[in-house]
Amino acid sequence: MKICCCIKQVPGTTEVKINPETNTLVREGVETQINPFDLYALEEAMRTKEKMAEAGEESTVTVISMGPPQAEDALREAISLGADRAILLSDRAFAGSDTWCTSYVLAKALEKIEPDLVFCGMQAIDGDTGQVGPGIAVHLDMAQTAYVAEVVSIDAKKMVAKRLIEEGYETVELKLPALCTVVKEINEPRTASLRGKMAAKKAEITQWGAAELETPEDKVGLAGSPTQVVKIMTPPCREGGEKFTGETPELVDKLYAELKCLEVV
Amino acid sequence: MSIKVDPTKCNGCTLCVKACPVDAIEVKDKLAVIDLDKCTLCSACVSACRFKAISIEVDKQPAEDLQNYKDVWVFGEQRDGKVAPVVFELINVGRQLADDRSSELSVIILGDNLDEAVADLASYPVDKVYVYEAPELEIYDSERYCRVLTDVMRDYKPEIVLAGATTTGRSFMSGVAIRLYTGLTADCTGLEIGEDGLLHQTRPAYGGNIMATILCPYTRPQMATVRHKVFPTSAKRCEGEAEIIRLTPKPALFGSRSKFVDFVETVGEQGNLVDADIIISGGRGLGGPEGSAPIRELADELGAAVGASRAAVDAGWIPYAHQVGQTGKTVCPKIYIACGISGAVQHQVGLKSSDVIIAINRDPNAPVFDIATHGFVGDIFEVLPALTKKIKALRGAPADSCVIQ
Ligand SMILES: Cc1cc2nc3c(=O)[nH]c(=O)nc-3n(C[C@H](O)[C@H](O)[C@H](O)COP(=O)(O)OP(=O)(O)OC[C@H]3O[C@@H](n4cnc5c(N)ncnc54)[C@H](O)[C@@H]3O)c2cc1C
Ligand SMILES: Nc1ncnc2c1ncn2[C@@H]1O[C@H](COP(=O)(O)O)[C@@H](O)[C@H]1O
């Protein structure tokens, strides 16, 4: 079975802070990480490979990332965690891609691989859209489901997945090939093994650009993107208000009075 | 298409360097130099530059038939014939947008046996309710819903389409926008018609640390998913009536490679986080699964939903569906009460847009106090039970004067 996982390199979370004096983003260094949800996607890809192996079917896990050249670091990390192969989709022409174009480029790459199963995170913590995964499936015209919290069963033809939605859990059956986006509840990711780390150092990262993917200029990057960011601002920081200390009865009285003001008691 | 720095305007002030989220700008000899290998053309620097020295040029023309698109449409998400609460918020903002564009507001609802839902929707100030009923659409199916809505959009050509940023809206609207080759802005918190007549969509990114305004200038419809509870619920209509239009189902669109198996409701006792007006969350300070009892008791008393920090979820004290934060849910209740939660950034990003944040923590230096509207330094196991008791005792008593503003 061919299993793919789309991972995105995002800024390390702690860096995205605001400097209250200049009201700008503070970045300590250029630390990056694999988007947290994508680690769960990768782990599920690996677990699926292991499950398939138990059933006697060999599988490969290919990780794909679209981004600037340094996204290679994220792909190496994915190899250290057990992925078999990594592909970086990088090209000047891809810069400025919105979710339409990002899912298009990723879909063009997946088209070449013809996967049976694709895992994505439910959303990226920088863009926070959650649109890329479902978008890829539509570009590829394959079955899909989002917010998967458990893969109940899987074989070469179909999978049963439990998805976490607002009111509870919905179970659906999908014909393969299919794409799932996953939530944190799905598993607990492993950490890199020593062997994985060695493999990551040595791994060859395939690189595909617009030429390899045959993406027309007007369908990628800023030129291909239907949306345009016209303004970015940093909202004022939320400031802490009064902090009360004292004996419990005092605190309770104040807290009660506060709730009364808010008209909830 | 490219990004350029105008050397006659740039004075090397480094504002752009600070604004760049990918560290692609350096100032050399008092001039900003952009590393094109790193730059993602996100435009943060363009907004940050006070001297208008940086510009991104796109040589692109709007499609020719844009004027054929009109009206504002709201996706009337429903489950079991019950309309999702966010839809009534969308009707409110959609009404405003339609009035600003001197156009009409319609709701489209997909499903089966929708009479009650349709009557409900028609009692709000919408001009038209489009009803697409078929047994195959009774239960949400991303593939089917995507194909059907895309088809309707092609026929009716709305100018603006809004859906709730729910698990449903977020996942299948993406596909509709892909099929129509148009833009979809996720999780908007601000929507406005600009002087240019376009829909100005504002949304938080980077965990709410930046707000981006996004346009869809070249294609239609302009599509957005909208965050819960940002816009107030629409009032009911006081006059006139909505036209109800039944669309003819096209079974050719109903193919799907997925099949619904079952649904298990879990929200019941602890409430649906995203719809809740009050959320009481517990963290590692709960100390164990039984530690959540005082939280649940207070939540019952206040009609609140129960939330949790990741620490409490990972310890297995509260199910994941209740986790608030970067790897959980983003919530915007009127009141968020954080109990025994330190307030790590990853937790903060999930609750920052709550109207009022109340924190109870015994550590006076906990970061949660940096964002709490009202902080209480105390032990949750003493404060919460005493508070619940007091609320019970005084239920219905006349209002005291407000001591805290
Ligand atoms: C990639 C990533 C994603 C993450 N995503 C999330 C997320 O989505 N949501 C999230 O919440 N976290 C998330 N985290 C974890 C986050 O960084 C913190 O570890 C977590 O929020 C801490 O939870 P806590 O505040 O409950 O626990 P702690 O940090 O241990 O804080 C417990 C607090 O309780 C107080 N306390 C203890 N006993 C009492 C008592 N009896 N009365 C009063 N106060 C008491 C203590 O003073 C302390 O401040 C993420 C982390 C990473 C790395
Ligand atoms: N540039 C990218 N490269 C690879 N995968 C991506 C990229 N952007 C998004 N994804 C995948 O799509 C998911 C949702 O991202 P988003 O729609 O940006 O919130 C992520 O969790 C990834 O699995």
Residues 6+ apart with CB under 8 A from B198: B215, B216, B217, B222
- How much of chain B exceeds pLDDT 70, in percent? 96
Shortest-distance Cα residue to atom 18 of ligand 2: A124
Residues on chain A touching B361 (C-beta within 8 angstroms): none
Which residue would you say has higher pLDDT here, B88 or A126? B88
> Does residue B215 sit at the A interface (CB-CB below 8 Å)?
yes
For residues B83 and B76, what is the distance between their CA atoms, to the nearest angstrom?
7
Q: DSSP labels for B283-324?
A: -GGG-SGGGGHHHHHHHHHHTPEEEE-HHHHHTTSS-GGGBB
pTM for this model (two decimals): 0.91
- Spell B137-173 as b/e; 16+ CB within 10 A means b: bbbbbbbbbbbbbbbbbeebbbbbbbbbbbbbbbbbb
**What letter would DSSP give residue B333?**
-
- How much of chain A exceeds pLDDT 90, in percent? 82
For residues A221 and A208, what is the distance between their CA atoms, to the nearest angstrom?
15
- Mutation pick from A43, A183, A252, A254 vs chain B, by most beta carbons of B within 10 Å, is A252
Q: Which of A134, A245, A258 sits opposite B377 (nearest CB)?
A: A245
Closest to B128 in 3D by CA, of B151, B109, B142: B109
Contact at 8 Å (CB) between B101 and B221? Answer: no
Asked if pLDDT for residue B269 goes beyond 70, the answer is: no
Contact at 8 Å (CB) between B299 and B246? Answer: no
- The pLDDT value given to residue B37: 79
Let me know if the fold of B64-250 is the same as that of B278-395: yes
For the stretch A110-162, pLDDT in tens is 999 999 999 999 999 988 899 999 999 999 999 999 999 999 999 999 999 99
- Spell B96-128 as b/e; 16+ CB within 10 A means b: bbbeebebbbbbbbbbeebeebbebbbebbbbb
Give the pLDDT mean for B387-404: 73
Whether the bond into B221 is cis, omega within 30 of 0: yes
- The pLDDT value given to residue B405: 40
For chain A positions 137-156, those within 8 Å of chain B (CB to CB) are 137-139, 142-147, 149
For the stretch A181-207, pLDDT in tens is 999 999 999 999 999 999 999 999 999
Shortest-distance Cα residue to atom 23 of ligand 2: A120
Asked if pLDDT for residue A101 goes beyond 90, the answer is: yes
Angle formed at CA A166 by CA B136 and CA A64, multiple of 5 degrees: 85
Class of domain B2-57: alpha beta
> Does residue B211 sit at the A interface (CB-CB below 8 Å)?
yes
> Does residue A240 sit at the B interface (CB-CB below 8 Å)?
yes
| Protein residues with CB under 6 Å of any ligand 1 atom | A 13, 36; B 283-285, 309-312, 323-328, 340-342, 344, 346-347, 350, 360-363, 366, 379-381
Contact at 8 Å (CB) between B337 and B309? Answer: no
CATH code for the part of the protein at B278-395: 3.40.50.1220
For residue B209, report the distance from its CA to the centre of ligand 1, in Å: 20
- Residue A175's pLDDT band, with cuts at 50, 70 and 90, is very high
User: Rounded to a whole number, what is the distance in Å from the CA of B239 to chain A's nearest CA?
Assistant: 31
Mean pLDDT of chain A: 92
For chain A positions 62-81, those within 8 Å of chain B (CB to CB) are 68-70
Contact yes or no for A147 and B171 at CB 8 A: yes
> Does residue B92 sit at the A interface (CB-CB below 8 Å)?
no
- Residue B395's pLDDT band, with cuts at 50, 70 and 90, is confident
Which sequence spans correspond to the domains of chain B?
A: 2-57, 64-250, 278-395
**What letter would DSSP give residue A143?**
E
Contact yes or no for B387 and A252 at CB 8 A: yes
Asked if pLDDT for residue A68 goes beyond 60, the answer is: yes
- Residue B365's pLDDT band, with cuts at 50, 70 and 90, is very high
For chain B positions 151-190, those within 8 Å of chain A (CB to CB) are 166-168, 170-175, 177-179, 181-187
Q: Does any ligand 2 atom lie closer than 6 A to the CB of residue A8?
A: yes
Residues 6+ apart with CB under 8 A from B328: A184, B308, B310, B313, B320, B322, B350
CB neighbourhood size of A249 (10 A): 12
Instruction: Give phi and psi for B276, each to the nearest 5.
Output: -75, 145
Give the ligand at the shortest distance from the Cα of B342. 1
Alpha carbon separation from B211 to A229, B47, B370 (Å, rounded): 10, 11, 21
Asked if pLDDT for residue A31 goes beyond 90, the answer is: no
- The pLDDT value given to residue B242: 96
- The pLDDT value given to residue B1: 56
Tell the residue number behind the tokens 């040595």, with chain if given: A202
> Does residue A256 sit at the B interface (CB-CB below 8 Å)?
yes
Which residue would you say has higher pLDDT here, A179 or B58? A179
Which residue would you say has higher pLDDT here, B228 or A63? A63
- Residue A14's pLDDT band, with cuts at 50, 70 and 90, is very low
- The pLDDT value given to residue B404: 46
Give the pLDDT mean for B367-371: 95
Out of A72-76, A258-262, B15-19, pick the least confident. B15-19
Asked if pLDDT for residue B399 goes beyond 80, the answer is: no
Class of domain B64-250: alpha beta
- The pLDDT value given to residue B58: 74
How many cross-chain Cβ pairs, A to B, lie less than 8 Å apart? 338
Q: What ipTM did this prediction achieve? A: 0.92
Give the pLDDT mean for A68-89: 96
> Does residue B393 sit at the A interface (CB-CB below 8 Å)?
no
Mean pLDDT of chain B: 92
- The pLDDT value given to residue A235: 83
Contact at 8 Å (CB) between A99 and A127? Answer: yes
- Residue A19's pLDDT band, with cuts at 50, 70 and 90, is low
- Residue B281's pLDDT band, with cuts at 50, 70 and 90, is very high
